[in-house]
Structure 1
Amino acid sequence: MMEVPIRCTGTAVVLLKEVENQYRVLLVKRAKAVLKDVWCYIGGAIEEGETATEAAYREVKEETGISDISLYSANTFDKIYSIEGNYIYIAPVFVGFVASDQDVTLNEEHSEYRWLSFQEAVDTVSLPGNDEVLSFIEKHFVKQEAPRYLKVGD
């Protein structure tokens, strides 16, 4: 019997910022060859010696320039089946509440960014499954208080 391996080599972060008493979701448009022109939230590889949490902080800083965030484990995952590699890719998703004075400075990986309402973000994300992650986060981190036991640090 042949098994399809599961690989967890990356992390994802949904950034939220309160604008006029409503949480907005940061989406970025990919500029690189892989997933070019795809709208998504922040994500990237876990580097040698890093934890998923450390990778989440680093990816947010690299891709957006944002360093002041309150990070939570979303307790959900991005999941993708690689047709070419015949493996299942899974990545822990984090929620980052961004301080209102933080501005976005994109690196070369992305061409555009937008702060969108949850409904706009759900309608905009390109990858199947990202919409479900956003709906899950809205339910558990916005419509109710973020669970303290999922807070990173503190």
Structure 2
Amino acid sequence: MSIIPIKSTGVAAVLLKEINNIYHVLLLKRASHPLHNIWCYIGGGIDEGETAIQAIYREIAEETGITEVVLYSSNQFDQIFSPQENYIYIAPVFVGFVHQEQSVVLNDEHSDYQWLPFEQAKEVVSLPGNEDVLQSIEHNFVKKKPLTYLQI
């Protein structure tokens, strides 16, 4: 019997900012392959010796320049099957709340960004399953008060 390996070597984050009393999601446009021109939220690998939490703080800072964020575990996961390499990739998704005045400074991994209300963000995200993650985050972190248990 053959198995499909599962790799959990990365993290993801959905950043939220309140603009005109409506929460908006930060989406980034990838500038490099394999996801060139794909709109997505923050994601990246876990470096040797890092925890997932250390990795997501680093990835947020590297990809957006944002260093002040109130972070939660979303209890959601990005899940992708790689048909070329025959493995399942799974990454915990974190939720970060940022201040209204927080600006974004992109690194060279991305060519553009936009803050979008949830309904628009769910239409713009490119990878199947991302809209489900956004739906869950909207339901559990915007429409409801986030559980303090999940705060990092």
TM-score interval for Structure 1 and Structure 2 normalised by the shorter chain: over 0.9
Report the TM-score, using the length of structure 1 for normalisation: 0.98
Q: Distance in 1 between matches of 2:40 and 2:70?
A: 20
Shift in Å, 1:7: 0.4
Shift in Å, 1:15: 0.2
The 5-angstrom pairing of residues 93-104 of structure 1 reads 93-104=93-104
Equivalent residue, structure 1, for 2:140: 140
Name the SS of the counterpart of 1:24 in structure 2: strand
Name the SS of the counterpart of 1:149 in structure 2: helix
Amino acid at match of 2:89: Y
The 5-angstrom pairing of residues 113-132 of structure 1 reads 113-132=113-132
Q: Deviations over 1:47-84 (max 9, x none)?
A: 00111111110000000000010000000100000101
Q: Distance in 1 between matches of 2:80 and 2:92?
A: 12
* 2:90 aligned with 1:56: no
Amino acid at match of 1:7: K
Equivalent residue, structure 2, for 1:65: 65
Equivalent residue, structure 1, for 2:89: 89
Amino acid at match of 2:120: E
Shift in Å, 1:100: 1.7
Name the SS of the counterpart of 2:79 in structure 1: strand
Shift in Å, 1:112: 0.4
CA RMSD of aligned residues (A): 0.5
Amino acid at match of 1:121: A
Q: Distance in 1 between matches of 2:69 and 2:90?
A: 24
Shift in Å, 1:101: 1.9
Q: Distance in 1 between matches of 2:92 and 2:126?
A: 19
Amino acid at match of 1:87: Y
Name the SS of the counterpart of 2:91 in structure 1: strand
Equivalent residue, structure 2, for 1:30: 30
Shift in Å, 1:102: 1.1
Q: Deviations over 1:68-119 (max 9, x none)?
A: 1000000010000010111100000000001222100000000000000000
Q: Distance in 1 between matches of 2:37 and 2:144?
A: 33
Q: Distance in 2 between matches of 1:19 and 1:8?
A: 34
Q: Which runs of 5+ in 2 are unaligned?
A: none
Report the TM-score, using the length of structure 2 for normalisation: 0.99
Structure 1 runs of 4+ aligned residues shifted over 6 Å read none
